[in-house]
Amino acid sequence: MPHWTKKFFIDEEKYWHALMDAGWKQAPAQARAIAKILKRNGIKHGQVLELCCGNGRISTNLAKQGYRVTGIDLSPAYIEDAKKRARKIGVRPEYVCGDVRRFNRLVKGKFDAVYTIWTAIGYYDRKTDERIFKMVARRLYKNGLFMILQTMSREWLLNHYCHAIYDETDKYLILHRGKFDRIHSQNIEHWYFYEKRGKDLKFVTDMELPLRIYSQHEITEMAEGAGLKFTAAFNNLLLLNPPDPVTPQINMVFQKP
């Protein structure tokens, strides 16, 4: 049976595409914050890899900061859109279409930094993510950084869980109905997409999104298991302020010794 990511990001990619397009508004500020983290750690330029880059909202803007960026994503449609947007902006990131679980076969060389953003880990399971962390560690230069950014926090989710929420884009209204499997630490949501037609809504599709949700200590365990050391954590990516117990997002930085 195909993994859920195939339906979500390939077969019916246009629905998630609409949410990514909405994210472009905040992407320049997010890219500047990432560049600030890199510069604080002595990486003023160099090779950077984004895992699960989508249609390039962060990688393209990070390239504008002077970094040589490679982005990898499962979706051919997102990769093509990323290339078009980069050309229009006038930067030249390298975009590769492929499965992040095998990114070591798809990109060459080493990197000064690797990052994921917007809960781009947890698509599979902990064993798979541990393997990805180890691949990342092998591809980092000495003192290179691995950044886990804007990833959903298990602690916050359990304390603020809502079984029914919604998102909205210019074209769609998305209803989310979820349940949290505490035994496997998996948030299982069913997404219902409705197309806006004036004042009316027309149901167009529904998809299930099961995400493995991590605590900060679990991410730290995986990173340290890959040979990386904890460097910093932030409450908010844009503010880069110290973490607190009620932060909804995990922003953590690890370094290769």
Instruction: Report how far residue 245's alpha carbon sits from residue 25's, in angstroms, rounded to the nearest whole number.
Output: 28
Domain ranges of the chain: 4-152+214-255, 156-211
Specify the pLDDT at position 211.
98
The CATH architecture one would assign to domain 4-152+214-255 is 3-Layer(aba) Sandwich (3.40)
Over residues 127-135, the mean pLDDT reads 98
Specify the pLDDT at position 246.
79
pLDDT score of 44 more than 90: yes
Domains 4-152+214-255 and 156-211 equal at CATH topology level: no
Q: CB–CB of 52/77 below 8 Å?
A: no
Over residues 101-109, the mean pLDDT reads 96
Q: How far is CA 173 from CA 74, 168, 209, in A?
A: 25, 5, 16
Work out the pLDDT band at 130, boundaries 50, 70, 90: very high
Q: CB–CB of 153/185 below 8 Å?
A: no
Please tell me the pTM assigned to this model. Answer: 0.97
Specify the pLDDT at position 47.
98
- Percent of the chain surpassing pLDDT 90: 98
Give the model confidence (pLDDT) of 152-176 as tens digits.
999 999 999 999 999 999 999 999 9
Specify the pLDDT at position 79.
98
Task: Please provide the average confidence, as pLDDT, over all residues in the chain.
Answer: 97
The pair phi, psi for residue 107, each rounded to 5°, is -125, 150
Work out the pLDDT band at 121, boundaries 50, 70, 90: very high
pLDDT score of 1 more than 90: no
Specify the pLDDT at position 245.
78
Instruction: Report how far residue 190's alpha carbon sits from residue 216's, in angstroms, rounded to the nearest whole number.
Output: 25
Interacting residues of 31 by C-beta distance below 8 A, sequence separation 6+: 58, 61, 62, 64, 65
Give the model confidence (pLDDT) of 195-245 as tens digits.
999 999 999 999 999 999 999 999 999 999 999 999 999 999 999 999 887
CATH number of 156-211: 2.20.25
Give the model confidence (pLDDT) of 60-81 as tens digits.
999 999 999 999 999 999 999 9
Tokens 């997010």, located at residue: 30
pLDDT score of 247 more than 90: no
